[in-house]
Amino acid sequence: MTSNDDDDDEVKRKENPPPAPAGPRRPPPPRAPHNQFEKVSLNRMSERLNSLSPDWEKGKDDDDKGKGCSMVEHDKEDQKKRLKRQLKFDRRVNTLQARIRHSVARGDPIVERQARLELEELVSTRLST
């Protein structure tokens, strides 16, 4: 009986090996290299964009009181057009910044460079107007 029990224990040990010793875990695999210059460059562009005072933030409440009805409507239409233009600009900037971030993460320097050039051109034309 005892020899049979020993054989059963031996079979069980082979089927269920003991758990691995709990040692220090291996660090996760390294991520794509992050270039600090890219982040600083994007932050500078964002600061430059934020420094622009959008036309739609300039209130016209005081000026509207003395104007005729047609002038007020005309100003509201202009303000609506400026707001639409500003939103279109903001959306394009966000798209280009996302393209830059994703291309850096993928390690695609060609797409990154194209997006950077396009963003710089877009910002410079916006600053010149």
- pLDDT value of residue 17: 64
- Could you read off the pLDDT of 65-120 as tens digits, one per residue? 555 556 667 788 888 899 999 999 999 999 999 999 999 999 999 999 999 999 99
Helix, strand, or coil here: 54?
A: coil
Looking up tokens 């224990």, which residue turns up? 9
Residue 107 counted as domain residue: yes
pLDDT confidence of 12, banded at 50, 70, 90? low
pTM for the model:
0.44
Helix (H) or strand (E) holding 2: helix 2-15
Residue 91 counted as domain residue: yes
- pLDDT value of residue 56: 47
Higher pLDDT, 10 or 107: 107
Q: How many domains does the chain have?
A: 1
What number of H helices and E strands is found in the chain?
5, 0
Sequence-distant (≥ 6) Cβ neighbours of residue 105 within 8 angstroms: 32
Residue 58 counted as domain residue: no
Looking up tokens 């089927």, which residue turns up? 15
